[in-house]
Amino acid sequence: MRIHTALIAPTLLAAALAATPALADPGRTGGKQTLTEPQIRELLEKQGFTRIDDLEFEDGMWETDATSADGNRVDVRVDAASGRVFSEDMVSTLSADDIKAKLTAAGYSKVHDLDYDDGIWEADAERPDGKNVNIRVDPKDGRILGVEND
């Protein structure tokens, strides 16, 4: 079998680029495909939000200021993977103690500085390997939405 060396370099380059995760690409987070800005705008409009301003992708979530269906200006976050919308006027079904218990059960220790902000619980904690992290948690079911190094 004869291999054409002129084809090897471009093929290896294409394979390397395909395997490299996109850096700072809002369409991807942690290797998972996520919703794009136009998709997020459409999703929010379908849920009654208008005047969607300053839509930015930050820390694995889309964030914006918008007018809710009842006419109030609210801060809104959207889970980039699931499209779940969280707004500052949402009521959490879980307490700070519930969130702390869920994070402890998930293997985190030294859970502290719990804060319910813009419809999402945030907490600082320590991973099993001793690294300090900031964790975002769903206020309805306690699902971990994102973990960042502190």
pLDDT at 99 over 60: yes
Q: For the chain, give the mean pLDDT.
A: 83
Place of tokens 């006419």: 71
pLDDT at 19 over 60: no
Quick one: average pLDDT of 109-130? 95
Contacts for 24 with CB less than 8 Å, ≥ 6 apart? none
Give the CB-side neighbour count of residue 112, counting CA atoms within 13 A: 4
- Band (pLDDT 50/70/90 cuts) for residue 33 is low
Question: What six digits make up the tokens of 83?
Answer: 């499209």
Q: What pTM was computed for the model? A: 0.72
Place of tokens 């969280």: 86
Sign of CA dihedral 35, 52, 54, 147: negative
pLDDT at 60 over 60: yes
Least confident of 30-34, 127-131, 137-141: 30-34
Q: With pLDDT > 70 as the criterion, what percentage of the chain qualifies?
A: 78
Provide the 3-class DSSP secondary structure of residue 137: strand
Sign of CA dihedral 116, 41, 62, 19: positive
Looking at the chain, the number of H-run helices and the number of E-run strands are 3, 10
pLDDT at 24 over 50: no
